[in-house]
Amino acid sequence: MNKEPADSTLSTGPDPARSSASLWKDAWRRLSRNRLGMLGLCVISVMVLLSLFTPWIAPYSYSAQDLDLGATAPSAAHWLGTDTFGRDLLTLILYGSRVSLAVGFLATAVALTIGVIWGTVSGYVGGRTDAVLMRTVDILYALPFTIFIILLMVMFGRNMLLLFMAIGAVEWLTMARIVRGQVLGIRRQEYIEAVIIMGLPRWLIMFRHVLPNVLGVIIIYTTLTIPNVILLESFLSFLGLGIQPPQSSWGLLISYGVETMEEYPWLLFFPAATLSLTLFSLNFLGDGLRDALDPRAATD
């Protein structure tokens, strides 16, 4: 057999003029081409900024009421109108966004932490540990959590902290399952076996080799969990079981709006539109991330 010089040309495929790019940069490039996804990203960023700076930018004070004014349609003084107590709707929505977004992000953070750790350990260690951990998840999954949360809220009062934890407690299950699935798949890859054979300690393998490769999926599902959490919170608030006045949240505002929707439809429209817009953005962003990070899921 003849000995050939090593093939030092790069493989055919993506643009050879492009400089060496990590998978993250590659994903970002793909995301930036997705118009809906980028739109979602922008809208959410704007919302987050607005809600952070609400105390400084809200046109009226939080509790400013004007009973003489009553409910009025949108005008120059009140861009989105006022409610039956004369409170500025824009202000109410802004403050409501603080609550809803806070619940959304915080509860998701709780779910994320528990779910990722649970799923990674379960998937990586395997064996009996995996069986026990997953059996627990299965049992908890079968419980009708929405009903339990309602019970909790009714029985133990409307405690914000309890609300966060309860909602987070529902969502971590799905996250754990997804992470475990990913970890199982990665664990079987030869490059993990290679570092095991190298003799790297288990924790190092989990953090340096497994997690970075699961990170993509985690990001996607986190982005898609936040809207679910926001929905859940507003659902509870709508039923009167979540956030209580004087605090406001979108769900609460919507329930007021429903009560008076015939006479003052703007009280329903604007909070509903804000909620939906937020959910849209998050979902489009999540979809865009999914396409960017996992090209096999795309259709072309």
Partner 1 sequence: MIEFILKRLLQAIPVLLIVVSASFFMIRLAPGDPFSQERALPTEVLKSLNTYYKLDQPLTVQYLDYLSNLLQGEFGPSFKYPGRTVTEIIGAGLPVTFELGAYAMLIALLLGISSGVIASLRPNTWQDYVPMSLAMIGICLPSYVLGPLLVLIIGIWLEWLPVSGWGYIPGDKILPSVTMGFVYAAYISRLSRGGMLEILNQDFIRTARAKGVSEGMIVLRHALRGGMQPVVSFMGPALAGLLGGSFVVETIFQIPGLGRYYVQAAFNRDYTLILGMTVFFATLIIAFNLLADIVAAWLNPRLRRGKTAGNG
Partner 2 sequence: MSLLSVEDLRVYFHTRNGIIRAVDGVSFELDKGQTLGIVGESGSGKSVTAYSLLGLLPMPPARIESGRALFDGIDLLHAPETTLRTLRGNRIAIIFQDPMTSLNPYMTIGAQLIEPLRIHMGMSRGAAMKRAIEALREVGITEPQRRMGCYPHEFSGGMRQRVMIAMGLATEPDILIADEPTTALDVTIEAQILELIRKLQESHGIAMIYISHDLGIVAGIADEVLVMQNGVVVERGSKTAVFHRPQHPYTRKLIDSIPHGAKPVDPARDAMPGQSDFLRMDDVHITYPVPSQSLFDLRRHEFSAVDGVSLQLAKGEILGLVGESGSGKSTLARGIVRLVDLKAGRIRMEEILLSELSGRQLNATRPEFQMIFQDPYASLNPRLTVQDCLAEALQRRGELDRKELQAEILALLGDVELLPEHLRKYPHEFSGGQRQRIAIARALALKPKLMIADEPVSALDVTVQAQILELLLELNRKYRMSMIFISHDLGVIRYIADRTAVLYQGRLVECGPTEQIFNHPEHPYTQKLLSAVRASRLLEGAGTD
User: Which residues are at the interface with partner 2 (CB under 8 A)?
Assistant: 1-8, 10-15, 20-23, 189-191, 193-201, 208-209, 212-213
Choosing from 101, 116, 220, 268, the residue that interacts with partner 1 (CB under 8 A) is 268
Mutual angle of helices 266-293 and 23-33, in 10-degree steps: 140
Residue closer to partner 2, measured from CB, 35 or 208: 208
* Residues of span 95-124 touching partner 1 by CB under 8 A: none
Rounded to a whole number of angstroms, the minimum distance from the CB of residue 52 to partner 1 is: 23
Give the residue with the Cβ less far from partner 1, 142 or 161.
142
Binds partner 1 by CB under 8 A, chosen from 81, 96, 216, 227: 227
Tokens of 110: 């709780």
Q: Which of residues 242-261 bind partner 1 (CB under 8 A)?
A: 251, 254-255, 257-258, 261
Range 201-213 burial, b when 16+ CB lie within 10 A, else e: eeeebbeebbbeb
| CA distances (Å), origin 177, targets 16, 65, 98, 229 | 39, 48, 30, 17
Report d(CA 170, CA 172) in Å as an integer: 6
At its nearest, how many Å lie between partner 1 and the CB of residue 188?
Answer: 19
Residue 159 in contact with residue 220, Cβ under 8 Å? no
Q: Which residue has the tokens 């956030």?
A: 243
How many angstroms separate the CA atoms of 236 and 9, rounded?
Answer: 60
Q: How far is the CB of 125 from partner 1 (least distance, A)?
A: 23
Please give the Cα distance from 239 to 254 (Å, whole number): 10
Pick the closer one to partner 1 by CB: 124 or 238.
238
Interacting residues toward partner 1 by CB under 8 A: 138-139, 142-144, 146-148, 150-152, 154-156, 227, 231, 234-235, 238-241, 251, 254-255, 257-258, 261-262, 265, 268, 272, 275-276, 279-280, 283-284, 299-300
